[in-house]
Each structure stands twice: as structure tokens, then as C-alpha cells.
Amino acid sequence: MNIDDCKLIKFKEFADPHGNLVAIEGVKDVPFNIKRLFYIYDILSDVVRGKHANRKSEFILICLNGSCKVDLFDGINTKTIKLECNTEGLYIPKMVWKDMYAFSRDCVLLCLSNEYYDADEYIRDKEEYIKEVS
């Protein structure tokens, strides 16, 4: 997998005078069955989260509120994406290194994944990651 496989997916927004709604269904709106979701919030602006790659997990990152940045690295190329729109999600396939940072105070980052949490499938050592993908 490389960072060209990372892409922003625009979700359909149901907007009416009462407010807005976005619905996301596994397989139909994101490229996997959703097994897990988690969200991060109240993050200090100088904190870098993520700092890992996953052997099995794919993700969709949706910034529900505020903004943050994501650096993607596939062992060769890097790409930075700013997330600030709650009607789009960043798809990240497995084996892509990710760093999330520049969180606004009000940022709420929702993450969807195709896998249950398994700490053993996380690669947290960047040198080990580079060795595995090269």
C-alpha cells in the first residue's frame, strides 16, 4: 500500500432547515465493513498522536469538529492532509504510517476501522516499519 491509496471520501449530507445529517454505511460508503470506532478529543495543540502503522487495520478519519492535520508516509513518499470538514473522511489503508497533529482545541476526530483493536498489529517503531515496507 502507498499514500496514493489514501483518499478523501465525500459523504452525502442530508441538509434541511432543521439541521444536517451524514449517514455512513460499511462497504457502501467506506471501503470496508466497520467493526470498530473510536474518537479522540481534548488534545493539546502540541501533541502528536498516531505515530504508527497497522498490519491489518484500515481507517477512515473524520474530523467531526475543529481541525487537525495528518502526515502520511509509505516508506518513500509523504503527504499532509488537513482535516476540517465533517462531511468527508480520509481513507488510510493498512501499512501506511500516520501522525496526527495540529489539533484545534475543539477538535473531535472520529476513526472508523475494519478491525477490532489488537495492539499486536500496530507497528510503533518507525525503523521497523521502514524495514518491513522496503
- Residues with catalytic function: 52
Closest to ligand TYD by CB, 52 vs 79, is 52
Q: Does 14 bind ligand TYD (CB under 6 A)?
A: no
Distance between CA atoms of residues 73 and 27, nearest Å: 25
Intra-chain end-to-end CA distance of the chain, in Å: 11
Considering CB under 6 A, how many residues would be counted as binding ligand TYD?
Answer: 6
- Candidates 3, 50, 59, 93: give the one binding ligand TYD (CB under 6 A): 50
- Candidates 40, 64, 85, 130: give the one binding ligand TYD (CB under 6 A): 40
Distance between CA atoms of residues 88 and 86, nearest Å: 6
Stretch that binds ligand TYD, among 6-14, 24-32, 35-43, 82-90 (CB under 6 A): 35-43
- Candidates 4, 106, 117, 132: give the one binding ligand TYD (CB under 6 A): 117
Q: Does 55 bind ligand TYD (CB under 6 A)?
A: no
| Buried b / exposed e along 23-33 (16+ C-beta atoms within 10 A) | ebeeeebbebe
And the C-alpha cell for 121? 498489529
Closest to ligand TYD by CB, 4 vs 128, is 128
Give the angle subtended at the CA of 53 by the CAs of 51 and 109, to the nearest 5°: 60
Q: Comparing C-alpha atoms, which of 134, 1, 117, 7 is closest to residue 70?
A: 7
Q: Does 38 bind ligand TYD (CB under 6 A)?
A: yes
**For binding to ligand TYD (CB under 6 A), which residues are involved?**
36, 38, 40, 49-50, 117
